[in-house]
Amino acid sequence: MRAVIQDRYGTAEAIGVDDLPEPVPADDEILIEVKAVSLNGSDRENLAGSPFYSRLGGLRRPRNPVPGSDVAGIVVSAGRSVTEYAKGDEVYGELAGYRGGLAEYVATSPRLLARKPTGMSFMDAAAIPQAGCIAYRATRGIGPGDRVLVNGAGGAGGSLVIGLAKHYGATVTGVDRAAKADHMRHIGADDTIDFETEDWADHRDRYDRIVDLMGHRSPYRVHRALRPGGQYLMVGGRTRILLALAAAGWSAGRGKTVKVLVVPQSRADLEAVTALVTEGVVTLALDRTYSLEHAPAAFARLAAEDHQGKIVVRVP
Ligand SMILES: NC(=O)c1ccc[n+]([C@@H]2O[C@H](COP(=O)([O-])OP(=O)(O)OC[C@H]3O[C@@H](n4cnc5c(N)ncnc54)[C@H](OP(=O)(O)O)[C@@H]3O)[C@@H](O)[C@H]2O)c1
């Protein structure tokens, strides 16, 4: 089968497309004929091997050379102990080990996968899993009138956080590059900040919820931007701050919370956020699409500074 191969950490030049043996599913796995794969910020990190947590899947080089976590496709066969899916079922979801998707076939546990809604394209289904589940968890508890700031709002997760926060009635400020301001407004942001010219953390007592997909500020800096009772959720960013916050938490006083949001891989969350997409509550923001043979170009775009929303790879 054709597959994307990453044999080292680095830039998009570390990515190639080659032939690999077709995987054989274990008794508790299904074999999927992959139709579409979407890329996330975590794929860029897994390519670079940075931040450091992206090397959990291999210190010197990735143990599984095939990148790609968010897939949609058709079940080709099911192991003996699999009862919930059978040949021909259309499924989508995030792969348990965050890798293996960018190939014509992947063998995986069915535990995290859901049935693709009838009428939804494979491209749209592949665009939902990781970004959708981040947005679903990060916006829980947001209500009408809340002021929400999303840092890294023009990317995969942030674009959906904006949409869901607006749905819950919040006023949303999106922070990203100036070139993504129109995109952020188009998907619902009331206000935008260019992080290259303005530091939102200089704002005082302004936000009820800060969702930070690119966290690099100390808890002391971010808590001052929260209103009393507000919540800062760090989703991604600098390892040192993630570890410090995850280990010790941070008490900010005046009812403010500063913490890491750990997003579980959950089929229930995936189905819940997908229902919001199919109801039209939130719109998927798709960037460009590439064929599997052009996956290196898709990674180059992911690493460049102008993608907006999700990049999707069509397979084959
Ligand atoms: N907590 C969890 O359980 C969990 C689960 C899954 C993933 N994650 C993490 O979530 C993070 C974000 O993922 P994503 O898929 O949304 O990433 P993404 O698609 O790359 O989006 C990030 C956005 O932030 C922009 N940006 C870059 N530097 C910035 C800065 N200093 N300030 C503000 N914005 C900046 C990026 O612009 P450019 O691309 O133009 O640079 C991009 O538009 C990743 O670190 C990933 O590992 C966390």
Q: Any idea which residue has 């508790």 for tokens?
A: 28
Cβ–Cβ under 8 Å, residues 172 and 162: yes
Top-level class of domain 131-260:
alpha beta
Name which of 98, 101, 24, 87 is nearest 55 in CA terms. Answer: 98
Is 112 within 8 Å of 263 (Cβ atoms)? no
The whole-angstrom separation of Cα 163 and Cα 189 is: 8
Nearest CA to ligand 1 atom 15: 41
Residue 120's pLDDT is 98
Q: Determine the pLDDT at residue 194.
A: 98
**From CA 71, how far away is CA 33, in angstroms rounded?**
10
Ligand 1 site residues (CB inside 6 A) read: 40-42, 44-45, 130-131, 134, 151-152, 154-158, 175-177, 195, 213-214, 235-236, 261-263, 305, 307
Which amino acid appears at position 12 of this protein? Answer: A
What's the pLDDT at 248?
Answer: 65
According to CATH, the topology of domain 2-128+284-314 is Quinone Oxidoreductase; Chain A, domain 1 (3.90.180)
- Mean pLDDT per 10-residue section of the chain, whose length is 316 residues: 97 95 97 98 94 89 96 98 97 95 97 96 98 98 98 96 98 97 97 98 95 93 94 93 77 85 96 97 94 96 88 95
The protein residue whose alpha carbon is closest to atom 26 in ligand 1 is 152
Return the pLDDT at 249: 67
Domain locations in the chain? 2-128+284-314, 131-260
